[in-house]
């Protein structure tokens, strides 16, 4: 499997059977869906999907009901390609196994709406990768790779560190990184490396366009 980093929370997971794109939003450059076989969307916020991004591809879209409703309101033609999934569901996306995990977005502020959010555990080529969306959802067993949110209005660095340690993935790859400056992200990188390396865990932040190859 290859992980290809796009802007912010968007990644491509290229497996032996499918090219899956997760969360192409407003901070993701056009073209992220080129060659996509399937698209996964974690929640409704525009940094995780836009009609413009989805309209650039004919790939089927898998997402939760709240997002499906917004897609239908934005563009009924795109909604024809949407399959609604929910927490606990497991499905095959062109031969690649996907499990839907989690139900709620992290709390931004108690007085704001508490949005739905489901992450996706993608398993293929002997490798498991978890994209949590905007949540700190844990798993029954550690995935090989955690796509780790590192900057957000709902997140502070101590929570990010503790989440990565609790999930205990051998490798954590930074996502959700468009809202900090490079200086701020450098501080985050330093803290995460400092806390994860003693646990024999690797932390990486890929630049847009970079990729990481996993497994054989």
Total number of domains in the chain = 1
pLDDT of 216: 62
CB atoms under 10 Å from CB of 74, counted, come to 15
pLDDT of 215: 78
Between CA 157 and CA 166, with CA 160 as vertex, the angle to 5 degrees is 140
Backbone dihedral angles phi then psi of residue 34, each to the nearest 5 degrees: -60, 125
pLDDT of 109: 94
What is the spatial distance between Cα 31 and Cα 35, in angstroms, rounded to a whole number? 9
Strands 119-124 and 127-131: antiparallel
**C-alpha separations of 82 from 137, 168, 187 in Å:** 24, 33, 39
Q: Under the phi-then-psi rule, with left for phi > 0, alpha for psi from -120 to 50, and beta for the rest, what region is 125?
A: left
Domain membership of residue 161 as a residue range: 2-213
- Report, as ranges of residue numbers, the positions in the chain whose pLDDT lies below 50: none
Query: Cβ(42)–Cβ(117) under 8 Å?
Result: yes
What is the spatial distance between Cα 143 and Cα 173, in angstroms, rounded to a whole number? 12
CATH classification of the domain holding 144:
3.60.15.10
**In this predicted model, what pLDDT tens digit does every residue of 37-86 receive, in sequence order?**
999 999 999 999 999 999 999 999 999 999 999 999 999 999 999 999 99
């Amino acid at each position: 499997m290859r992980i290809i980093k796009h802007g912010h929370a968007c990644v491509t997971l290229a497996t032996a059977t499918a090219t899956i794109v997760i969360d192409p939003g407003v901070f993701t450059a056009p073209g992220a869906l080129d060659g996509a076989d399937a698209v996964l969307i974690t929640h409704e916020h525009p940094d995780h999907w836009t009609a413009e991004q989805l309209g650039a591809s004919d790939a089927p879209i898998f997402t939760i009901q709240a997002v499906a409703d917004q897609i239908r309101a934005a563009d009924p033609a795109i909604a024809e390609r949407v399959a609604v999934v929910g927490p606990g569901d497991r499905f095959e996306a062109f031969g690649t196994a996907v499990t839907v995990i989690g139900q709620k977005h992290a709390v931004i502020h108690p007085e704001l709406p508490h949005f739905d959010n489901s992450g996706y555990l993608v398993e293929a080529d002997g490798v498991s990768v978890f994209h949590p969306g905007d949540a700190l959802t844990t798993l029954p067993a550690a995935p090989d790779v955690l796509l780790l949110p590192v900057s957000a209005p709902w997140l502070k660095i101590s929570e990010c560190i503790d989440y990565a340690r609790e999930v205990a993935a051998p490798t954590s790859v930074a996502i959700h990184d468009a809202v900090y400056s490079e200086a701020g992200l450098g501080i985050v990188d330093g803290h995460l490396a400092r806390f994860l390396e003693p646990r024999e865990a690797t932390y990486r932040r890929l630049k847009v366009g970079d990729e990481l190859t996993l497994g054989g």
